[in-house]
Amino acid sequence: MKVYSLAILMASLLMAGCNTIKGMGQDVESGGEEIQDASDHVKDKM
């Protein structure tokens, strides 16, 4: 029973970690797009 409970706990943590990493990747991508948009805006003014 202990091993089964530990396996469920570890699987839950693994799935939660994947969602967190996915969200972090989306945040980084969004930040990169904002930087790219800002640099395009500056380039257009030159």
Summarised one tens digit per residue, pLDDT across range 1-46 is 778 888 888 887 777 766 777 777 888 898 899 999 999 988 898 8
The residues near 12 (Cβ < 8 Å, ≥ 6 apart) are none
**Taking the complete model, does pTM exceed 0.85, yes or no?**
no
Assigned token pair, 34: 């904002």
Query: Given this model, what pLDDT does residue 11 score?
Result: 80
